[in-house]
Amino acid sequence: MRLSKNKSLFLLHFIIIIWGFTGILGKIINLTSEVIVWNRMIIAYFALLLINQFTYRKIKINPKDFLKYIFIGGVTAIHWICFFESIKISTVSLALICLSSISLFTAILEPLIQKRKILFYEIILSLLIIIGIIIIFNYEKGYEKAVFLAIISAFCGALFTVLNHKLIQTGHKALIITCWEMFGGVVMVSLYLLITNQINSNMIAQKDDIIYILILGLICTAFAFSISIEIMKKLSPFTVNISVNLEPIYAIILALIIFGEEEKMSREFYVGSLIILISIGLNTILKQKKINN
């Protein structure tokens, strides 16, 4: 798939809308966070395996690359588990706003992993996001654990994004990366469920949840995740992650429509959210200015 920078940006914002719906599904599905992620990744793995067979026919992976995929798949699984658990014990809005700290971790991790100079404005904009999160943390009492889990999720999200960017820039194919990372996630979550004695019939989605799980696995994961890796050929990890901070806007609107009063937060929550959104706007302006120069 060959994409221009403009098409990559369009696709990025399209999948952000899809990801915005992910939190809604996590709230609706009547399974534990670990089991949701296990179902999500196993559906995505088999879907991508099938697509890979039609696309590449023969898929050869050396052991070194396979281990990389397994590791990143495990990081991705932790990211999603923490994210869904944060949603289940708080609200979609809170979890997604706190997840915006992903840009701070990206601004730190990308220079370390990609061995490039740290950009001053990335750190400043990321700190603005942290200020917004601190305001939310101080006024949304009772949700401290949810905020903590969302921040862990953000760190893992930044880590796998930067690592995937490095893989795609060195010639790895997006579909193959995504497929085997989903497999790695399934292996890691399965081991965790086995160790904690959670392997039972409740792991399989029941009639009420099966449609939601399929949407989560096929559209929100197999499709969106592989496209997000493909567009990294044209976009930097920081641009991807700072743009993903628009996800709360879509998710909050959807959550207010679907869940109503349950999603309404304090005035300070929206003040903190506004600071986060301002940082996103500033990043867009600075990025555009840099491109024009």
- Over its length of 293 residues, how does the chain's per-residue pLDDT go in tens digits? 566 777 788 888 888 888 888 888 888 898 899 999 999 999 999 998 888 777 766 667 888 888 999 999 999 999 999 999 999 998 887 888 788 778 778 878 888 887 777 777 877 887 887 788 788 777 667 888 998 999 999 999 999 988 988 888 777 887 888 889 999 999 999 999 999 888 876 677 677 788 999 999 899 888 887 787 778 777 776 677 667 667 777 777 777 777 776 666 777 777 877 887 787 667 666 766 665 55
Cα 120 to Cα 111: distance, rounded to the nearest angstrom? 12
Q: 125 and 283 in contact (C-beta within 8 Å)?
A: yes
Cα 93 to Cα 284: distance, rounded to the nearest angstrom? 23
The neighbour count for residue 129, using CB atoms within 10 Å, is 28
Model pLDDT, residue 142: 80
Model pLDDT, residue 122: 76
Model pLDDT, residue 21: 84
Cα 199 to Cα 162: distance, rounded to the nearest angstrom? 32
First-residue to last-residue Cα distance in the chain:
29
Q: Which residues does 94 contact at the CB level (< 8 Å), separation at least 6?
A: 86, 136, 140, 143, 146, 147, 150, 265, 269
Cα 209 to Cα 93: distance, rounded to the nearest angstrom? 22
Model pLDDT, residue 57: 64
Model pLDDT, residue 262: 67
Model pLDDT, residue 90: 87
* Helices and strands (H and E) in the chain: how many: 13, 0
Q: 182 and 48 in contact (C-beta within 8 Å)?
A: yes
Q: 89 and 146 in contact (C-beta within 8 Å)?
A: yes
Q: 256 and 263 in contact (C-beta within 8 Å)?
A: yes
Q: Which residue type occupies 32? A: T
The neighbour count for residue 77, using CB atoms within 10 Å, is 27
Q: 220 and 28 in contact (C-beta within 8 Å)?
A: no
Model pLDDT, residue 185: 95
